[in-house]
């Protein structure tokens, strides 16, 4: 076998090993995160991003995870996908704080572009974010410093649940995930439009306490 063929063989073996030596976190919303899981508690899965040089430990609520597929082939299941979810999941704060290395990207005055599979969610979120005034909501991804993807689900009683994922504009990597909130049940803030209510709660409960 020639040296070139040996090098190519070694390259493909190394590539295959690399692909197999990662864990996969599958969210209930269909996202897959390549990671190295470092710890699983009763509330969160802690992990480092795969093939990323920083040593930041990220956390994701188990409520938002369908399963974790480990590098050894084992799979640990937590929840079903959104299309099968019937009852609300317990909201858990994840992570406790914004990782220091991405704080500058999400600082006050930055430009954010909102996305969601639900157009009304974007419309309502834009209203509440502009009223808050911490970030500037822009109309195109090209203008933005960061993308905020809004995820919604509903239980059988029509209650709307929502959480937001901050994503890198260029790589589409998830930088930060908020807690999951639900449309308000309090008399003072109750709104028959549950999506609008959930967007208000997302800003008030999941964003304002973290970004000050």
Take residue 17 and report the two structure tokens written for it: 């090993």
Q: Is pLDDT at 47 greater than 90 in this prediction?
A: no
- Superfamily of 100-207 according to CATH: Lipoprotein like domain (3.30.160.150)
Question: Ranked by mean pLDDT, which of 39-48, 132-141, 197-206 comes out on top?
Answer: 132-141
Q: Strand order of the sheet with strand 75-77?
A: 58-61, 44-49, 32-40, 23-27, 65-69, 75-77
pLDDT at 59 over 50: yes
Q: Which residues of 37-54 are buried (b: 16+ CB within 10 A; e: fewer)?
A: beeeeeebbbbbbbeeee
Instruction: Name the residue among 212, 78, 63, 75 with its Cα closest to residue 151.
Output: 63
Tell me the HSE value of 67 on the side-chain side, using a 13 A CA sphere. 9
Rounded Cα–Cα distance for residues 77 and 161 (Å): 21
Residue 73: what are its φ and ψ, rounded to 5°?
A: 100, -15
CA distances in angstroms from 46 to 39, 97, 162, 180, listed in the order given: 5, 13, 21, 17
> Does the global pTM surpass 0.85?
no
**What is the model's pLDDT at position 139?**
95
97 — phi, psi (to 5°)? -150, 165
Q: What is the pLDDT of residue 177?
A: 87
- pLDDT > 90: what percent of the chain? 33
Q: Residue 33 forms beta bridges with which residues? A: 25
**Is 26's pLDDT higher than 60?**
yes
**pLDDT the model gives residue 34:** 87
Is the per-residue pLDDT at 25 higher than 80?
Answer: yes
Enter the tokens of residue 152: 């919604």
Of the two residues 64 and 184, the one the predictor is more confident about is: 64
Whether pLDDT at 154 is above 90: no
Q: Which fold has domain 3-77?
A: SH3 type barrels. (2.30.30)
Tell me how far CA of residue 171 lies from CA of 43, 56, 146, 167, 175, in angstroms: 28, 17, 11, 8, 10
* Mean confidence (pLDDT) of the chain: 81
- Cβ neighbour number for residue 134 with a 10 Å cutoff: 17
Chain segment 92-140, per-residue pLDDT in tens: 334 457 888 888 999 999 999 999 988 899 999 999 999 999 999 999 9
Domain with CATH 2.30.30 in the chain: 3-77
pLDDT band of residue 192 (cuts 50, 70, 90) is confident
Q: Where in the chain is the domain with CATH 3.30.160.150?
A: 100-207
pLDDT, position 19: 46
């Amino acid at each position: 076998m020639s040296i070139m063929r040996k090098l190519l063989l070694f390259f493909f073996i190394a590539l295959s090993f690399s692909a197999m030596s990662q864990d996969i976190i599958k969210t209930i919303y269909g996202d897959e995160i390549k990671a190295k899981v470092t710890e699983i508690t009763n509330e969160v899965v802690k992990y480092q991003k795969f093939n990323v040089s920083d040593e930041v430990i990220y956390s994701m609520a188990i409520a938002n995870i369908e399963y974790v597929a480990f590098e050894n082939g084992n799979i640990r299941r937590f929840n079903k996908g959104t299309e099968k979810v019937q009852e609300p999941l317990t909201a858990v704060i994840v992570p406790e704080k914004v990782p220091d290395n991405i704080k500058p990207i999400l600082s006050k005055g930055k430009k954010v572009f909102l996305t969601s599979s639900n157009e009304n969610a974007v419309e309502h979120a834009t209203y509440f974010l502009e009223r808050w005034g911490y970030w500037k909501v822009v109309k195109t991804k090209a203008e933005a410093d960061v993308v905020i993807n809004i995820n919604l689900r509903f239980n059988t009683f029509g209650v709307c649940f929502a959480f937001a994922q901050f994503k890198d504009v260029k790589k589409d990597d998830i930088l930060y995930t908020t807690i999951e909130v639900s449309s308000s049940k309090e008399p003072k803030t109750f709104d028959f439009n549950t999506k609008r209510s959930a967007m208000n709660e997302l800003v008030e409960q999941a964003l304002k306490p973290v970004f000050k």
